Amino acid sequence: MTEFVFFGGKGGVGKTTIASAYALECADAGLETLVVSTDPAHSTADVFEQEFGDDPQPIEGYDGLSAMEIDPEREVQEHLQGLKQQLSEQVSAAMVNEIDAQLELAHRTPGAYESALFDRFIEVMQNADPYETVVFDTSPTGSTLRLLALPDLLERWVERLLEKRERSIDRYEKAAIGNRKPRRVMDGDPIVARLQERKERFEFAGTVLREEATFYLVLNPDELSIRETRRSIETLEAADLSVRGLVVNRLTPEPDPHEEGRGARYLRRRVATERDRLEHIDDAFDVPTVATIETRPEEVRGTLLEDVAAELEVKPGEELRIG
């Protein structure tokens, strides 16, 4: 069975860094691992100093580690093109322009982006067989998670639709003239088939996320990041998904005791502030802090990435966990 691991958190806190380091640890532990990135800024490419595309591709220099980058904007565009194509075959030419304009608008609404992304997540999850661990450097957001409630809604919708169609087919049959055979319009009805397919996709996603996925949240020792973490925990829990642990990234290193001067005084004050924040994090959340990572003097890539990975202490086994 594949384990899906998500790293959530505000932009810039270190999701991509921690997810990449975690994936590296998994691969080192002998697990066939895939990193899935959704950052249009190609930050995974920066971390591994290699370009990635929309399909998984081995990362050079690391055994058992592959990566792919999903471009959410392109997902939205492709989705839009698909719909337009389909509709242009079904409506008059005069309607096409009007519908195009409407669709363009619909795709700018909040949530369109997330929902296209989520569709792609599901596809990745459905094709995850070659991997033992799939690490996502982002976690589903509130509007994505609301889609998980969709199967129940669609179920009722599909049922009502089916009933309606059945009644009309029934009437049609009764009115059937002579020995003309009534058409079984419902079998292969494209609308019903689409709804059913969509319902099954979200059902699958819900089951996988609840049963085979682990969620970690990455945060920095500052108030804004802590507040955001609280919101994310609530959002995930509202969808029946529990957060396994917090990774506090970018802690300030302490100067040696004999060190004096402005720099050392600054660092000591900063370290004290962060210690308070860490205590607050422990008190305020039921979710444990599973790792704390120091700030490095440079961007985390190459050997620095291996350093950070070593700090994560991933223990593979029955249950993969940090710390």
Ligand X SMILES: Nc1ncnc2c1ncn2[C@@H]1O[C@H](COP(=O)(O)OP(=O)(O)O)[C@@H](O)[C@H]1O
Shortest Å, Cβ 142 to ligand X: 18
CB of 299 to ligand X, least distance (A): 4
> 293 touches which of Mg ion, ligand X, none (CB within 5 to 8 A by kind)?
ligand X
Assess 16 for contact with Mg ion (CB under 5 A): yes
Of residues 112 through 131, those in contact with Mg ion by CB under 5 A are none
Residues 270-299 that bind Mg ion (CB under 5 A): none
Distance CA 301, CA 21 (A): 9
Nearer to Mg ion, 121 or 202 (CB): 121
User: Least distance in Å: CB of 16 to Mg ion?
Assistant: 3
Q: 288: which 2 tokens? A: 């444990």
Helix, strand, or coil here: 264? helix
Choose from Mg ion, ligand X, none: what does 295 bind? Cβ within 5-8 Å by kind.
Answer: ligand X
CB burial string 179-212: b at 16+ within 10 A, e below? eeeeeeeeeeeeebeebbebbebbbebbebbeee
Contact 157, 202 (CB under 8 A): no
Query: Would you say 25 or 39 has its CB closer to Mg ion?
Result: 39
232 binds Mg ion (CB under 5 A): no
Euclidean distance between CA atoms 234 and 141, whole angstroms: 11
Amino acid at 34: L
User: Which residue's CB is nearer to Mg ion, number 39 or number 274?
Assistant: 39
Q: How far is CA 142 from the centre of its chain?
A: 11
Q: What x/- string results for residues 37 through 56 when contact with Mg ion is judged by CB under 5 A?
A: --x---x-------------
Question: From edge to edge, which strands make up the β-sheet containing 3-8?
Answer: 57-58, 65-69, 33-37, 133-136, 3-8, 213-219, 243-251, 289-294
Q: Is 69 in the site for Mg ion (CB under 5 A)?
A: no
Q: Applying CB under 6 A, which residues contact ligand X?
A: 9, 11-17, 43, 137, 249-250, 293, 295-296, 299-300
Instruction: Please say which residue, 43 or 133, places its beta carbon nearer to Mg ion.
Output: 43
The sign of the torsion formed by the CA atoms of 109, 110, 115, 117 equals positive
What does the binding site for Mg ion look like in residue numbers (CB under 5 A)? Answer: 15-16, 39, 43
